[in-house]
Amino acid sequence: MSFLPYSAIFTMNIHPIAFSIGPIDIRWYGICFATGMFLFTHFFSSDKYIRPQKILFENLLSMVIACILLGAKIGYVVFYTSPKIWLKALFALNGLSFHGGVLGACVSGYICYKKYGVETMWTLLDRTARWVPWSLLVGRIGNFLNSELLGRPTGLDSFGVIFPYGDRLLIPRHPSQLYEAFGEGIILGWIMYYADYHYGKHPKFLSGIFLISYGLIRLMLEYYRMPDHQIGFLTFGLTLGQWLCICMIFAGLYVLHLLHLSQKQDLSYENLS
């Protein structure tokens, strides 16, 4: 079946290994991951809300990154592997979960709250949410270059990408990694820019908007992505990633509800004074 007047079938011939140094293989995803971490660190450190307390937040940044990475790894192990292989999966080089990374960021926020107070906690989480999309953009491009997290078959003979290094079926698939790079990187990045420009001074707002926006974007884009083979489809034909995104959306709504309550409380204090 063909709906296009021309063929748009592309073969992803780039090998996942960019180059090797002796016995060590350097993969494209590793390069993109490191680039994403560099971009996040650079933008976070240059943030105008961070500069007044730059030394404090640069110290906190190391904790945030550590918690995100640890949460991403533990999240992948818990969400996507069997308890029988948890220990093996924990020490494997592959396997990270974005939703686990979000939980890790929440843990870093709690640690910050216990040590420095609630205001510093929300500044940390809001500014992290502000700059994460650019890391996601590069990371999803890395998934594409690594021929992983494949999209669903297009069902067309005139559109799709064939992944000889990641797909034994060699059929045209949606380049869902690039869809997610555009959605989670470009679109989400613009949403966060707009939210920051107009409402960045309100604590909690960026965190809530990030959770809701990412959840909605990925919830839709997951329809073009294959479910994890060890899990498949769950209730209502949704993937585990989609159900986790629904949880993110409700969490974001709750954060905005907290913001609304705090603004009402501030208004009542002003009226009393």
How does pLDDT run across 87-118, given as a tens digit for each residue? 998 988 788 999 999 999 999 999 999 999 98
CB 41 within 8 A of CB 191: no
Residue 177 banded pLDDT, cuts 50, 70, 90: very high
| pLDDT tens, position by position, 216-249 | 999 999 999 999 988 999 999 999 999 999 999 9
Selected residue with higher pLDDT from 3 and 217: 217
Place of tokens 């609304």: 260
Number of helices (H) and strands (E) in the chain: give both, helices first: 9, 4
Spatial neighbors of 111 by CB under 8 A, at least 6 apart, are 63, 67
| Residue % of the chain over a pLDDT of 70 | 94
Contacts 24+ apart (CB under 8 A), 168-176: 172/9, 173/226, 174/224, 174/225, 175/144, 175/151, 176/149, 176/150, 176/151, 176/152, 176/221, 176/224, 176/225, 176/226
Cα of first residue to Cα of last residue in the chain, in angstroms, is 71
Q: Quick one: pLDDT at residue 271?
A: 54
Cα 89 from Cα 70, distance rounded (Å): 13
- Mean pLDDT taken over the chain: 91
